[in-house]
Amino acid sequence: MPKQTFFNLPEEKREKLIDVATDEFAKNSFNSASITKIVEKAGIAKGSLYQYFEDKKDLYKYILELSANKKKEYLIEWMNRLQHLSFIEMIRELYVKGVAFAADNPRLAGIANNFMKENDTKFKEEILGISIEKSNQLFEQLIENAKNKGEVSRNIDTKVAAFLVTNLNTSIVDYMLTYMTYEEIFQNKEELLDKVDKMLFIMENGFKAK
Amino acid sequence: MPKQTFFNLPEEKREKLIDVATDEFAKNSFNSASITKIVEKAGIAKGSLYQYFEDKKDLYKYILELSANKKKEYLIEWMNRLQHLSFIEMIRELYVKGVAFAADNPRLAGIANNFMKENDTKFKEEILGISIEKSNQLFEQLIENAKNKGEVSRNIDTKVAAFLVTNLNTSIVDYMLTYMTYEEIFQNKEELLDKVDKMLFIMENGFKAK
DNA sequence: TTTCTATGTGACTACCCAGTCACTTGCTCT
DNA sequence: AGAGCAAGTGACTGGGTAGTCACATAGAAA
């Protein structure tokens, strides 16, 4: 976490640094992101940055956490309504909110997206603080519940289904951020949400003609 | 492409260089991969490498192409049987072959996997030589045909379905290579193929309980 | 033996990087 | 005014990188 000096900073300066660092980590992987460029763009001395943060990883963790918190804020309303929804409605909401968040906050979504692409699993787990295995367990639980309620077929494999659901979610966001400009994403938000609906239809009913 | 001098090399030396470069690009992104490390491990002088290849990108293209060719060889038998299969059988075969190839050739699959993770679309399209859009068209065609034969529901969106099929394929391979050791992949090949079957079942029939 | 050509070489250039530290600045309290 | 302390600074260290080039070597031809 940042040192106290960082929080003692005047808000404008602090926000500027956060803004610039967000940009850099949204456009580059952890390794490719440059501290030198960040301090130049923020208009501060390199030594100053090391008065605020322990090292590059410390800054990265902080920026990643900020982006995760923004997403949590975005999802909080949804979380409360969660109980009243059927499984497939829940997944649809998750996808829709995920795509909408990425459309409205492409830089923040980009940071998380780049993080997912990191190869070094040790590094990832160190940053997340938890084993990646565990983050799938929430979905597995949801699917099990849906099976018990008769919403989801008992013939499907829970773990495989959880994998499918999470991976498609990240694939959509990755597609948006990798192959569309921020401008295009923003302008085609409705169209993207429509595609999410179409994808959910396939997942609900399958490919097979009846 | 490599210079003539590369092909004039004694086979052993050439293979050694290919082997070492394959390793480096399987473990690192294009930017993180180090020419200096490659020449050290191959036991040649740095100047020599530049007698064989124009630059880093030239070497990368060559290694990537070799890995693609190996995969093509792997798929060639399957390609011939393609006509006799139903759509879902075709997709299953594609996934099974893809997973089996990655299990048997984790380094080669790793190169392609790392390439997919590159952020710079300009770079990717330059290397591929074609627009990424076009590579989806094959699948869209297959799905259209399957709709006409009544194998696939007319209610699903072709483009979205093609996206789903390709992305799940890469997600599975990415999962294998990122979260499993080569050893684990090799030992659990049968289990992985079983998971592919289970995933195909979901895609064929959907989540919904009947 | 001399000459020619192809190939091999590694020190070197010009760059980029994260992180450090001796020093300076500016503010507050006495 | 002076002391003390928190914060700001940028030249510097040590390390990495891709790519170059003047020279060395080796084999073939004359």
- Give percent of chain B with pLDDT exceeding 90: 83
Q: How many CB pairs under 8 A join A and B?
A: 139
pLDDT of residue B129: 75
Model pTM score: 0.94
Asked whether B172 and B92 are in contact (CB, 8 A), the reply is no
pLDDT of residue B83: 75
Answer whether any strand D atom is within 7 A of the Cβ of A5: yes
Lowest mean pLDDT among A31-40, A161-170, B131-140: B131-140
Kindly give, in sequence order, each residue whose CB lies less than 8 Å from that of residue B195, ignoring residues fewer than 6 positions away: A157, A160, B172
> Average of pLDDT values for A50-72?
96
pLDDT of residue B131: 60
Mutate to test the interface with A, among B196, B207, B208, B210 (most CBs of A within 10 A): B207
pLDDT of residue B137: 86
Asked whether B185 and B103 are in contact (CB, 8 A), the reply is yes
Distance from B167 to chain A by nearest Cα, in Å?
A: 7
Task: Report the alpha-carbon distance of residue A150 to residue A145 in Å, rounded.
Answer: 9
Task: Report the alpha-carbon distance of residue B91 to residue A207 in Å, rounded.
Answer: 11
Asked whether A150 and A75 are in contact (CB, 8 A), the reply is no
A-chain residues near B146 (CB < 8 A): 207
Asked whether A15 and B15 are in contact (CB, 8 A), the reply is no
Answer whether any strand D atom is within 7 A of the Cβ of B33: yes
Query: For all residues of chain A together, what is the average pLDDT?
Result: 93
A52 CA to C20 C1' distance (Å): 15
* Three-state helix/strand/coil letters over chain A: CCCHHHHHCCHHHHHHHHHHHHHHHHHCCCCCCCHHHHHHHHCCCHHHHHHHCCCHHHHHHHHHHHHHHHHHHHHHHHHHHHHHCCHHHHHHHHHHHHHHHHHHCHHHHHHHHHHHHCCCHHHHHHHHCCCHHHHHHHHHHHHHHHHHCCCECCCCCHHHHHHHHHHHHHHHHHHHHHHCCHHHHHHCHHHHHHHHHHHHHHHHHCCECC
CB spacing of A114 vs B114 below 8 angstroms: no
What fold, for A63-205? Tetracycline Repressor; domain 2 (1.10.357)
The shortest CB-CB distance from A209 to any of B153, B171, B198 is to B153
Kindly give, in sequence order, each residue whose CB lies less than 8 Å from that of residue B132, ignoring residues fewer than 6 positions away: A179, B121, B124, B125
pLDDT of residue A132: 64
pLDDT of residue A97: 92
Asked whether A185 and A176 are in contact (CB, 8 A), the reply is yes
Task: Report the alpha-carbon distance of residue A31 to residue B91 in Å, rounded.
Answer: 36
Six token digits for residue B142: 């297959």
> Average of pLDDT values for A74-79?
79
CB spacing of B208 vs A205 below 8 angstroms: yes
A-chain residues near B175 (CB < 8 A): 163, 167
Answer whether any strand D atom is within 7 A of the Cβ of B42: no
Interface of A with B (CB under 8 A): 27-29, 31-32, 87-88, 114, 117, 119, 121, 132, 146-147, 150-157, 160-161, 163-164, 167-168, 171, 175, 178-179, 195, 198-199, 201-210
Chain A residue with Cα closest to B199: A160
Kindly give, in sequence order, each residue whose CB lies less than 8 Å from that of residue B204, ignoring residues fewer than 6 positions away: A206, A207, A208, B88
Asked whether B114 and B50 are in contact (CB, 8 A), the reply is no
B30 CA to D9 C1' distance (Å): 35
Nucleotide of closest approach to B49 (CA, C1')? C8
User: Quick one: which of B60, B82, B124, B104 has its CA closest to B193?
Assistant: B104
What tens digit of pLDDT does each residue of A24-38 get?
Answer: 999 999 999 999 999
Instruction: Classify B86 as helix, strand or coil.
Output: coil
B29 vs A209 pLDDT, higher one = B29
Asked whether A91 and A165 are in contact (CB, 8 A), the reply is yes
Using CA atoms, how far residue B183 sits from B27, B116, B126, B175, in Å, is 15, 23, 34, 14
Query: For all residues of chain B together, what is the average pLDDT?
Result: 93
Distance from A33 to chain B by nearest Cα, in Å?
A: 12
pLDDT of residue A155: 97
What tens digit of pLDDT does each residue of A111-167 get?
Answer: 999 999 999 999 999 888 766 667 788 889 999 999 999 999 999 999 999 999 999
A6 CA to C29 C1' distance (Å): 24
pLDDT at B132 exceeding the cut of 90: no
Domains of chain A, by residue range, sit at 63-205
What tens digit of pLDDT does each residue of B76-90 get?
Answer: 877 777 778 899 999
pLDDT at B130 exceeding the cut of 70: no
Instruction: At A43, give phi and psi (nearest 5°).
Output: 70, 35
The shortest CB-CB distance from B171 to any of A87, A150, A167 is to A167
Interface of B with A (CB under 8 A): 27-29, 31-32, 87-88, 114, 117, 119, 121, 132, 146-147, 150-157, 160-161, 163-164, 167-168, 171, 175, 178-179, 195, 198-199, 201-210
How would you label A90-99 residue by residue, b for 16+ Cβ within 10 Å and e otherwise? bbbbbbbbbb
> Diameter of chain A by CA atoms?
66
Distance from A54 to chain B by nearest Cα, in Å?
A: 24
